C-alpha cells in the first residue's frame, strides 16, 4: 500500500509556540483519515502543512512519495475544502467550481461541462448561475466540495467542513461524504473536533493534543482501547477510574477507563448514588457517585430508570476495564 | 418562591419613565419613521437646496451666452457657448486636462496598490498606525504650502537638480527635460512637473479606498485560489484585483475629478498652458464670461458621468 501523505518528525513552530511538534503520520492511499483534537491541538496546522500554506520548521513531508517541503500550494495536486468555504464572492457558482480548471487553461466549454458534472455530483444541478451569497450554508458547503473535486485531486483536505451546519444537515452530509469518498476512491484527510464525526466517518483516526498525536488507529480501536486518559475522555466520554479506586475495587493500582454503556444496574454490584438522570432518546444517561468518584452509566431504552437520590448497585464485565498508560 | 417574589414588591412590572424626555424617547421608539424624518431633514435641505440648487443655477448659466459687443449676458437659451467651448483652443484645454487627469489616476493607482496591499495584509498594530499617519500627515498641512514647496524642489536651482548633479546624472535630467511636450526649461515649468505634483497631492485619496477594499478581501480567498492551482499572478488577476476594483474605482473618482477641477497646481507648476480649472477661473474672473466658465465646469461632470457608466459596464461594482 502506497502512502498518500507521510510526515516524518514534522514540526511547525511559530516563535515559541509549538503548533506541531515532531509528528509522524502515515495516510494510506484511498483512506478516509480523520485528525481529531480540541482547538489548538495542531490538527489544522497539520492540514495546512499538507496543503502547503505552512512550511515545516523541521522534518519531512511526502505526498505520494514526493518531497513536498518548498513546493508552493499551487503546485500540489491537493485540494482543500475550507472551514468557511472561501467561495469567491464575485464569481457565480459555475465559475467558482470551474476556477481550478480555468487557471490551468482548460477551455470555457469543457470546464463548464466539468463544473456542471461536479455540481451534479454534489446534488446541486442548475445552481451554476447563482452567486455564493444567494446560497444557504449547506449549499455553499457542497459548492466548496465540488470546486475541490473538479480538479480530481490525489488528496482532498477537509477543514472542519461540517462545523457550521445544523445537526440534521451535518448527519446527512457525513453519510454523503463517506459514500462520495468510497465512490471516488480519493484519499480524504478530515479535520474535526467532533469525536462522533471522526468515529463514524473515518477508516483511521489520529487523536491530537498539544501539537502531537496521542493515538492513531481505527475508530473501534481508539474507542475501546484509549491509550491515555486524554483520549478516553475526549473520544468516548469514558469514565476515568483512579488507581486508588481500582485498588479498592480489587483491580490493579493503575489508571483505567470504563465506557458508560458497559456499566449495568445489578443486584450484587458496587453501591452508588444516582445524582442526575438525562433522557437522551435512544438511551438514558445516569450520573452516579461511587466511592467519591462521579461516573456515567448509559441505560438502554426500555430499562427501568431509577430516580434521583436512589441507591443502586453497579456491575460490569472484567474485560471492559481498560488500563491506560498514564492519566495526563 | 418567597425569595423571588420580594423583588416585585413596590415596583410595577412595566415601569414608565416620567417627564418630557421619557415621553419623547418612548414615542420615537413607537414611531421610528418620525425620528428618521427628523434626522434627515436638515442634511436633505442643505444638500438639496444649497448644494444641488446652486449647481443647477450654475449649469443653467452655460445655456446663456455673452454678447460679443457689449459684454453683457443675454438670458436667451442658446447653445452658442457650447459651440465656443468645442472650438480650437478651448478643446485643447479640455483634452489636455482629461489626459493629465487620466495619467495622474493611473500613476496613483499603480503607486497606491502595493502600499495599500501592505497596509491591509501585513501591517499590524504600530505599523498600521504608522501607515495611517504617513498617508494622512501630508493632508494636514496647507495645500498651497506643499505646492510652493514643490516649486522650489523642482526649480532649476532646486534640490532635484542639485541631487542629479551630485550623482553625476545631470545628463539624465537634461535628457528627460529635452523630451518634446512633457519636458521644459526645468521640472517646475514642465508638464512632467505638473504631473509629479498632482500625483503627490492626490495619492492619499487613492491609497485609502484601495486599502479599505483590500482589507475586506478575506485572506482565505487568496489561499483558496492558490489551493486550486492559481499562480500568484493569476490570483492577483482573477481574485484580488476584481475584489479590490471598487476601491480603486472609488479612489480614481477622487484623483480624476480633483485633477480635472484643480486650477492652482498647473498655475504654480507647469508650462503656461491652461487647464480646465484655470479656464473657469479666467472666464468668470477677468474675462467676465460666466456662461463659458459654466460650460467649462459642465465638462468634468459629463466626463465623470461617462467614466462611472463605463466602470459599471465593466463590472467594477459587481463585488460591492
3-state helix, strand, coil in chain B (%, to 5): 75, 0, 25
pLDDT grade for B153, boundaries at 50, 70 and 90: very high
Q: What pLDDT, on the 0 to 100 scale, is given for residue B2?
A: 46
Superfamily of domain B83-313 in the CATH hierarchy: MetI-like (1.10.3720.10)
> Which of B221, B230, B319 is opposite residue A86, by nearest beta carbon?
B221
pLDDT grade for A323, boundaries at 50, 70 and 90: confident
Contacts of A89 in chain B (CB under 8 A): 221, 243, 319
Q: Do domains A3-232 and A239-323 have the same CATH topology?
A: no
> Which of A53, A78, A88 is opposite residue B221, by nearest beta carbon?
A88
Q: What pLDDT, on the 0 to 100 scale, is given for residue A70?
A: 86
Q: Strands, DSSP E only, in chain B? A: 65-66, 73-74
pTM here? 0.79
pLDDT at residue A212 greater than cutoff 80: yes
Q: Which CATH number applies to A239-323: 3.90.226.10, 2.40.50.140, 3.40.1190.20, 3.50.30.30?
A: 2.40.50.140
Q: Are A241 and A270 in contact (CB under 8 A)?
A: no
Q: At CA B71, angle to CA B66 and CA B75, rounded to 5?
A: 40
Per DSSP, what are the bridge partners of residue A155? Answer: A78, A187
- Strands A32-36 and A311-315, by their bridges, are unpaired
Q: What pLDDT, on the 0 to 100 scale, is given for residue B1?
A: 44
Q: What pLDDT, on the 0 to 100 scale, is given for residue B318?
A: 66
User: CB distance from B236 to chain A under 8 Å?
Assistant: no
- Tens of pLDDT, residues A103-158: 999 999 999 999 999 999 888 998 999 999 999 988 999 999 999 999 999 999 99
Q: What pLDDT, on the 0 to 100 scale, is given for residue A234?
A: 86
C-alpha cell at B209: 479606498
Could you tell me the residue ranges of all domains in chain A?
Answer: 3-232, 239-323
The highest-confidence range among A239-243, B8-12, B87-91, B95-99, by mean pLDDT, is: B95-99
Contacts (Cβ under 8 Å, ≥6 apart) of A325: A227, A228
CATH architecture of A3-232: 3-Layer(aba) Sandwich (3.40)
Contacts of A80 in chain B (CB under 8 A): 223-224, 227
Average pLDDT over residues A296-324: 88
- Least Cα distance to B153 among B180, B187, B185 occurs for B187
- Tens of pLDDT, residues A23-49: 999 999 999 999 999 998 999 999 999
Contacts of B242 in chain A (CB under 8 A): 90
Amino acid at each position: 500500500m502506497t502512502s498518500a501523505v507521510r510526515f516524518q518528525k514534522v514540526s511547525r513552530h511559530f516563535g515559541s509556540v509549538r503548533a506541531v511538534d515532531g509528528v509522524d503520520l502515515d495516510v494510506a492511499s484511498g483512506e478516509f483519515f480523520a485528525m481529531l483534537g480540541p482547538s489548538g491541538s495542531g490538527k489544522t496546522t497539520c492540514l495546512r502543512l499538507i496543503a502547503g500554506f505552512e512550511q515545516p520548521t523541521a522534518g519531512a513531508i511526502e505526498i505520494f512519495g514526493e518531497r513536498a517541503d518548498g513546493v508552493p500550494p499551487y503546485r500540489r495536486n491537493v485540494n482543500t475544502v475550507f472551514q468557511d468555504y472561501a467561495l469567491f464572492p464575485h464569481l457565480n457558482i459555475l465559475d467558482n467550481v470551474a476556477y481550478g480548471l480555468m487557471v490551468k487553461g482548460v477551455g470555457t466549454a469543457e470546464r463548464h461541462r466539468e463544473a456542471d458534472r461536479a455540481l451534479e455530483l454534489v446534488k446541486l444541478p442548475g445552481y451554476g448561475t447563482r452567486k455564493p451569497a444567494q446560497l444557504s450554508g449547506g449549499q455553499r458547503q457542497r459548492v466548496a466540495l465540488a470546486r475541490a473535486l473538479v480538479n480530481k485531486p490525489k488528496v482532498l483536505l477537509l477543514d472542519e467542513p461540517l462545523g457550521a451546519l445544523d445537526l440534521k444537515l451535518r448527519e446527512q452530509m457525513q453519510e454523503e461524504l463517506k459514500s462520495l469518498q468510497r465512490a471516488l476512491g480519493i484519499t480524504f484527510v478530515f479535520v474535526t473536533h467532533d469525536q462522533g464525526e471522526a468515529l463514524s466517518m473515518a477508516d483511521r483516526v489520529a487523536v491530537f493534543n498539544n501539537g502531537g498525536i496521542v493515538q492513531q488507529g481505527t475508530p473501534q480501536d481508539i474507542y475501546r482501547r484509549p491509550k491515555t486518559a486524554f483520549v478516553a475522555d475526549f473520544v468516548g466520554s469514558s469514565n476515568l477510574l483512579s488507581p486508588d479506586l481500582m485498588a479498592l475495587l480489587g483491580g490493579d493500582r493503575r489508571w483505567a477507563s470504563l465506557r458508560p454503556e458497559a456499566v449495568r444496574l445489578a443486584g450484587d454490584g458496587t453501591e452508588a448514588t444516582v445524582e442526575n438522570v438525562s433522557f437522551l432518546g435512544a438511551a438514558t444517561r445516569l450520573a452516579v457517585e461511587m466511592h467519591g468518584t462521579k461516573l456515567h452509566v448509559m441505560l438502554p431504552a426500555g430499562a427501568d430508570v431509577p430516580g434521583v437520590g436512589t441507591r443502586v448497585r453497579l456491575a460490569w464485565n472484567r474485560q471492559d476495564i481498560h488500563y491506560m498508560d498514564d492519566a495526563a | 418562591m418567597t425569595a423571588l417574589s420580594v423583588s416585585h414588591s413596590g415596583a410595577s412590572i412595566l415601569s414608565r419613565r416620567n417627564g418630557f424626555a421619557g415621553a419623547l424617547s418612548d414615542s420615537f421608539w413607537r414611531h421610528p419613521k418620525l425620528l428618521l424624518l427628523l434626522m434627515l431633514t436638515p442634511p436633505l435641505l442643505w444638500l438639496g437646496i444649497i448644494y444641488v440648487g446652486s449647481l443647477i443655477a450654475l449649469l443653467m448659466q452655460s445655456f446663456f451666452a455673452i454678447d460679443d459687443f457689449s459684454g453683457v449676458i443675454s438670458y436667451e437659451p442658446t447653445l452658442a457657448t457650447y459651440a465656443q467651448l468645442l472650438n480650437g483652443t478651448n478643446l485643447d484645454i479640455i483634452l489636455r486636462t482629461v489626459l493629465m487627469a487620466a495619467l495622474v489616476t493611473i500613476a496613483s493607482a499603480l503607486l497606491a496598490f502595493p502600499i495599500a496591499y501592505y497596509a491591509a495584509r501585513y501591517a499590524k498594530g504600530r505599523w498600521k498606525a504608522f501607515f495611517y499617519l504617513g498617508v494622512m500627515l501630508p493632508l494636514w498641512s496647507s495645500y498651497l504650502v506643499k505646492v510652493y514647496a514643490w516649486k522650489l524642489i523642482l526649480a532649476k536651482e532646486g534640490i532635484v537638480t542639485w541631487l542629479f548633479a551630485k550623482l553625476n546624472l545631470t545628463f539624465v535630467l537634461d535628457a528627460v527635460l529635452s523630451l518634446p511636450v512633457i519636458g521644459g526649461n526645468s521640472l517646475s515649468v514642465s508638464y512632467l512637473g505638473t504631473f509629479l505634483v498632482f500625483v503627490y497631492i492626490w495619492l492619499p485619496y487613492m491609497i485609502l479606498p484601495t486599502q479599505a477594499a483590500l482589507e475586506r478581501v478575506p485572506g482565505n480567498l487568496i489561499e483558496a485560489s492558490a489551493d486550486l492551482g492559481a499562480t500568484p499572478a493569476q490570483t492577483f488577476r482573477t481574485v484580488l484585483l476584481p475584489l479590490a476594483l471598487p476601491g480603486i474605482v472609488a479612489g480614481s473618482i477622487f484623483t480624476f475629478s480633483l485633477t480635472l477641477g484643480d486650477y492652482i497646481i498647473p498655475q504654480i507648476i507647469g508650462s503656461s498652458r491652461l487647464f480646465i480649472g484655470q479656464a473657469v477661473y479666467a472666464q468668470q474672473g477677468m474675462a467676465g464670461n460666466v456662461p463659458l466658465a459654466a460650460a467649462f465646469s459642465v465638462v468634468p461632470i459629463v466626463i465623470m458621468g461617462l467614466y462611472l457608466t463605463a466602470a459599471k459596464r465593466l463590472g467594477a461594482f459587481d463585488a460591492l
